[in-house]
Structures are given as C-alpha cells and as structure tokens.
Amino acid sequence: MWQRRAFLKSAGAGFLASLAPRQLLALEANDLVFASSIQTSAGKYGAVLMGERGDVISMIDLPDRGHDITISREAGRGVVFARQPGTFALVFDPFGNEAPQTLTSVEGRHFFGHGVFSPDGRLLYATESDFEAAQGVIGIYDATDSYRRIGEFPTYGTGPHEMLLMPDGVTFVVANGGIETHPDYGRAELNIDTMDPSVVFIDRRDGKLIGQLRLEAGLHQLSIRHMAVDVQNRVWFGCQYKGAPSETPQLIGYATMDGEIRLIELPTDTLRDLRNYVGSVAASTDGSTIAVSSPEGDLLIAIDAEQKRPVLVETLRNGCGLAADQTGFIATSGKGEMIGIAGAERPQQQFDFLFDNHMLRLG
C-alpha cells in the first residue's frame, strides 16, 4: 500500500528497510516532514507524507475521506482520522515498514477527524460523537494492545472537533463545536438554534473537567472548532459562524487555563474576507505567531500572539492546511497548491492531488 517514491528513487528500498528509528529521527531533524490527507486526481482518498521541499515520501490509500493526522515518535505510528462522521481511523507506520491497521469506531460512536497521542505514545485519544445522546466523547485506545478501545471520557459538550494536549502533558483542550449531527441524517446540522459551543480543559488522567469556557451568550452560534497553543500557553481558536450570513462576528480568539476567553479584533475587511469560516489554526515553531486560514474566503492570516493583531494577510485559493516550518508556515490548498507564508521562503508548488483541511508537521 505504501509507495515510497522519493526514497525508492534516491536510495532504494533496502535503504529504507534498514534505517533504524534513530537514523530516521535524524533524517527528520534535517529535513522537515509533513503529512496531510488528500484526494487524488482520480477522486480517491489518501494521505501523503512529504519532505520540506514538497517531495512525496510516501502515500497511503484511505477507504474514504480522511481529515487530521497525529503522529507519535514514541509509538512509532501516525493515525489518520476519518472526516466526520467517518467510522475509521488508520494507524500507519510513517516509515512504511509495517502494514497499516484500520480501527473502526465502536457501535454508537463516530470520529470527528481529530485526535492525539499521550506523550509516552502508549495511548491514543480521538474526539468522537455519542450521537444518540448528542454528546461528545474522547475515545481512548491502547497503542500497546493493537489499539484496543479501553474507555472514553466526556467532552462536556456537543460536536467536539479538534483536541490538543497542552504542553504540561496532562491537560487536554477540546473545542466543542456545539453542533449536533446524527448519522441517520448525514451531515445535516440539527440544533443551529440551540448551539452551545465551548472550550474545555480536561484532565488526561481521569477525564475530569478542569474548566469550561464559553463566549458571551449572543455568540452561541459561533462554532469553536480548531486550535493551536502559543508560547504563553494561550489556546488560540478559530470559529465558524452558523448564524445569519449578513452578520460578521469576530472569529479568532484565545482561551487560557486561568479561565480567560476572548475574541480578538480583526479589521473589518480582513474579517469579511474570512467568510465566517476558519478552517485551521497553527502556531509557529517558536509559538509567537498564529496562522489561521479560510478556504471559503481564500485567505490566510498570520497573527502576532503577543500583540494579538494580524501581521500578514495573504490569499490562497481554497487554502486551508497550515503547518509551521523553521521560519514561517507552509500553507496548502484544496486545489493542490503549497506556498510559504510569514517568513517561510519556498517556491509555490502545484501537486497532482488536492490537500485536505489540515497539514501536520512531524516532530
């Protein structure tokens, strides 16, 4: 299933098979590796691993559309989660030595497209929907036992989307988007009038709620969906507005473990061009800059996390995927383009596949 194109060309299969993990890590250190879900020109779904120059290292087939990817060096595995309301997650060996393993969501649950590993790589966590109860859960999988599902925690809200592990290694932050869906009704949104989105901090060890933050009641149709953590441990989030399209509420904000939550003020023009839709949020390598994207508005914004204001606005048609490189961000699009922004110097590249919403940098 894996096609180690670039490696096979440059070094031959034997080279890759003989690489010890330590050498592979060294390879990563010298040459950033990125991962993304994709759609091929033939309309098939997959995930791709690529070097920082855009060279495709490997490609994997997926049974349906994937979404975000998480990777653990400790586990030696990556996981592609199905786009909501998908029922599969694919565990793969980033170096292609082992065959991938497909996880299927348990009865009464589906995936939301995001998840994380524990710092030691022994546990995998995924945002999931308990759709009968319209409640979010974090599914817990034992990476040391064939990814057996060993339990779940509540997310204390409906429609959880992205989840991250805070730098302390013991606190999850989860964006409860607030939107109820049910597989019986496809992707139809069932509770737009009564949405209740929140950002929650949850103790990874026992699933207890540490804190739940909501924006003011008038913004209850502002679905909080994607996040990134800055150098000050502020959790930056991007929202999608489900209320009247003629309204343009602010869409970018941050939350802290001290209980602060607020939206920052983007200039009217910039806000308008986000089209009430933020598709992904990423932090720079040093955590001082936050990038957000809107594939609806073809817009990318870089924000100074300390000053809390935009420092750069770029356009990229259908641009959504964002990941930090050494000096800035790479951004990818649903049109198969990859560019560098906010200090990343790289030529614009066009691929023969389309990038999904999220780009992951390994390590």
Partner 1 sequence: MRIFAAIFATFLLVAPASAQIISPSEMLRSSVTNFIRPQTKAFATRTAELSKAMYVLCENGDLTAAQEAFAKAATAYGRIEFLRVGPLMEDNRSDRILFFPDRKGIGLRQVQQLLAEADPTAATVPGLQQKSVAVQGFGALEFVLFGTGFETLTTSDGAFRCAYGAAVAKNLEEIASDIAAGWADPDGIAKRLTQPDPAYADYRTTTESLEAIVGLVSHGIEAVRDTRINPFIAKGDGKANPKLALFWRSNQTLPMLKANFDGLRRLIELSSVVTDPALAEEVTAAFARADAAFAVVTSPVEEAVTDPAQAAALNDLVIATQDLQRLIGEELSATLGLSVGFSSLDGD
Residues making contact with partner 1 (CB under 8 A): 39, 67, 83-84, 113, 134, 161, 179-180, 182, 184-190, 192-193, 223, 225, 240, 244-246, 248, 272-273, 275, 277, 279, 295-296, 317-321, 333-335, 354-357
CA distances (Å), origin 33, targets 50, 56, 161, 320, 332: 6, 10, 24, 18, 14
Identity of residue 123:
L
Which residues, including other chains, have CB under 8 Å from residue 56's CB and lie 6 or more apart? 5, 6, 48, 49, 50, 351
Identity of residue 78:
G
Contact 174, 114 (CB under 8 A): no
Question: Is 131 or 141 the residue whose CB approaches partner 1 more closely?
Answer: 131
Question: Is 165 or 320 the residue whose CB approaches partner 1 more closely?
Answer: 320
- Which DSSP string do the residues of 15-47 spell out, in sequence order? HHHH--HHHHHHHHHHS-EEEEEEEETTS-EEE
Residue 111 CB, shortest distance to partner 1, in Å, is: 12
Question: Is 93 or 189 the residue whose CB approaches partner 1 more closely?
Answer: 189
The pair of structure tokens assigned to 214 is 């909501």
Residue 64 CB, shortest distance to partner 1, in Å, is: 13
Residue 57 CB, shortest distance to partner 1, in Å, is: 22
Residue 112 CB, shortest distance to partner 1, in Å, is: 9
The pair of structure tokens assigned to 263 is 């939206």
Question: What's the CA gap between 294 and 204, in Å, rounded?
Answer: 31
In which element (H, E) is residue 13 found?
A: helix 13-18
The pair of structure tokens assigned to 73 is 């060096």
* Strand ranges of the sheet holding 33-40, from the earlier edge strand across to the other edge: 56-61, 45-51, 33-40, 353-361
Q: Which of 132, 174, 177 shows the shortest CA–CA distance to 158?
A: 177
Question: Is 233 or 270 the residue whose CB approaches partner 1 more closely?
Answer: 270
Residue 339 CB, shortest distance to partner 1, in Å, is: 14
Question: What's the CA gap between 56 and 68, in Å, rounded?
Answer: 18
Residue 258 CB, shortest distance to partner 1, in Å, is: 30
Residue 187 CB, shortest distance to partner 1, in Å, is: 7
Q: Which residues pair with 89 in a beta bridge?
A: 81, 103
Residue 16 CB, shortest distance to partner 1, in Å, is: 30
* Strand ranges of the sheet holding 88-92, from the earlier edge strand across to the other edge: 66-72, 77-82, 88-92, 101-104
Question: What's the CA gap between 117 and 111, in Å, rounded?
Answer: 15
